[in-house]
Structure 1
């Protein structure tokens, strides 16, 4: 989907999509072509790749050089090269030469890239609370302001009240359709069997690491719960829908119940574990709509019921209730 190209630090970046070339400026939102994939589809295509998330996780704590990622991650030369090129093309990274070191480069996070820290934090919090199967222990997060270990709390950016899924209402905006919101590419998980089991995000990748999984999860948060609705709205093959619904039930994210219309028409509804994934979804959407803008308007529009204002995600510390900022979160080794 993307073509690597040579560039200099600070220059615009072009990304080749199916029908258009997008120009990405490191510190400005990308303008999307009218009628093309919207912010939701592009964002899910980006974050639904475990290697991208692992690369970003280490970049956010200071990793900048190719060799450092090769040392830290069980990643091949070819895969790392492709991911860094793609992330640079999307202006998540800027590639810059190292002073006094010929042919040495660093991949420095842009404002757009640094703005992804809330997404990694919500994924960490969900995996920590709901997924016991981790080959490597998750790190601890400490809020430097209060000095305590914490969990992020999803809050309303307008009134700062804590928010749960039922507290937010809304749906598709001017550029929002099911077709335009399906992830733009079929993403690939790293092989857990070849690399020693699940990584840091095993179940997150099961939910968003495949274009149809991500689409079904998003549709569930939009209120869909019947097999035929998933099939008709998303346009996915019935066998794919059935396989993903079965997987989500096995993970405990969905529960199957008899339909109110007919007992032989099961409903698939989000469980408590599934609803707890809402911060990951809404933070990703919030990031995407800040950085990818369709001329028609936003893909999704949400309102906070309590204050009646447009909802934009904000994370606060559960220990001291202060707003969280990226430079105030300290990552520590597991105890």
Structure 2
């Protein structure tokens, strides 16, 4: 499978990676959730080349993950704001952060904690079942074909002579 063909795959992971699958895009999204919105602020935070940042922001806008909103007319400048589609990535980003906290903290603990404003407690992300509320672990889940999976074309029966 070629990288350019990911968006055509019958796999939600592959299609998602076609949009989000590079380090700069994920770091831009992290910064969006940290309320960074302006080109210069992304560049200062990430140390990313202007061309690369422009390409990644354009892709995220084109995919509907971010919206480009003018905040100044002369010269024209924009904020980049998460759309509903972008905000739906929060559990993905938070899960990556908490995974990194667990396995790559060098024994020092997480560099940033996350506090739930409603209860006032710091938390870790946990994936739960939308139906019963139980925590999900890989051994508790069985994938099975869904309505979006294309059926493979049947091979014609072989004729014997």
Shared fold, TM over 0.5: yes
Q: Aligned match of 2:129 in 317, 321, 330?
A: 317
Residue equivalent to 2:4: 192
Structure 1, residues 276-330: CA drift from partner, whole Å, max 9, x if none?
Answer: 0111111111122112223443232111111111121112211122222322211
What is the CA–CA distance in structure 2 between the aligned matches of 1:207 and 1:222, rounded to whole Å? 20
Note closer, same or farther for the CA distance 1:191–1:248 as it changes in structure 2 (3 Å cut): same
Residue equivalent to 2:103: 291
Note closer, same or farther for the CA distance 1:295–1:319 as it changes in structure 2 (3 Å cut): closer
Q: Aligned match of 1:274 in 82, 86, 103?
A: 86
SS in 1 for 2:142: strand
Q: Which runs of 5+ in 2 are unaligned?
A: 148-161
Let me know the Cα RMSD of the aligned residues: 2.1
What is the CA–CA distance in structure 2 between the aligned matches of 1:220 and 1:207, rounded to whole Å? 16
TM-score scaled by length of structure 1: 0.40
Kindly indicate whether structure 1 or structure 2 has the higher relative contact order, using CA contacts under 8 Å at least 6 residues apart.
1
TM-score scaled by length of structure 2: 0.79
Residue equivalent to 2:150: none
Number of residue pairs aligned between Structure 1 and Structure 2: 144
What is the CA–CA distance in structure 2 between the aligned matches of 1:217 and 1:226, rounded to whole Å? 13
More helix by share: 2
